[in-house]
Amino acid sequence: MALPIPRFSYDDLRARANSLLQTHNPAGHIPIPIEEIVEFGFGINIIPIPGLLTVHEVDAFTAKDLRSIMVDLSTVESRSPNRYRFSLAHELGHVVLHADVYAQIEFLSIREWKQVVMSLPEKDREWLEWQAYSFAGLILVPREPLMERLADAVRIASEQGFDVVENHEPAKDYVCTWLGRQFEVSSQVVEKRLDKDGLWPPHI
């Protein structure tokens, strides 16, 4: 199946993410209230589904009408909110970026949805997922708050004996973990944001 998949650049995604946050998080709350943005800002129902991950091997997926996001129940109930929050942001990325794509495909169940996705050319699938993944990171870890908290993270890392100048990779692990707790995302998400924005190694 061939579909006109948009080719958004990272800067395009950043601009869209910033616009979304200006509208739906104008006070700049951190961590980003992604659940409230999805439910109340966009009017999207969040529906926990038992066994979504174990049976269908997906954390979440978005309904054809873009009005519901199904999330694996164990992900919702996890003691760590990181995976749940990122799943919501990822699916919101599809809603914001790929409404035209959803309008052109037909599916009634998750099985049919997976069949549609797997029928796409590999490059198209990669574009769809890369865009949603990157958009999620940009929503949950905005540049300005990241830069503000990075200075604190570097200072604390130095106090703990991590040399961010001479031995910056171990320091980076510590910093990403610390920042991940501030933004309620995984350290991997923080690391990608630091790399994409050229914020590591820090200039001190």
In single-letter form, the type of residue at position 4 comes to P
CATH 3.20.20.70 assigned to 10-140: no
Q: What is the pLDDT of residues 97-143, one digit of tens each?
A: 999 988 888 888 888 888 888 888 888 889 999 999 999 999 999 99
Residues of the chain with pLDDT > 90, as a percent, come to 69
Domain extents in the chain: 10-140, 143-196
Query: Parallel, antiparallel, or unpaired for β 45-49 and 68-72?
Result: parallel
Q: What is the pLDDT of residues 151-180, one digit of tens each?
A: 999 999 999 988 887 777 889 999 999 999
Structure tokens belonging to residue 58: 């997906």
More confident residue, 19 or 64: 19
Cα separations in angstroms, 18 against 69, 103, 143: 22, 25, 9
Query: For 12-26, what is the mean pLDDT?
Result: 98
Average pLDDT, the chain: 92
Its pTM stands at 0.93
Q: Distance (Å, rounded) from C-alpha 162 to C-alpha 155?
A: 9
Number of H helices, E strands in the chain: 11, 3
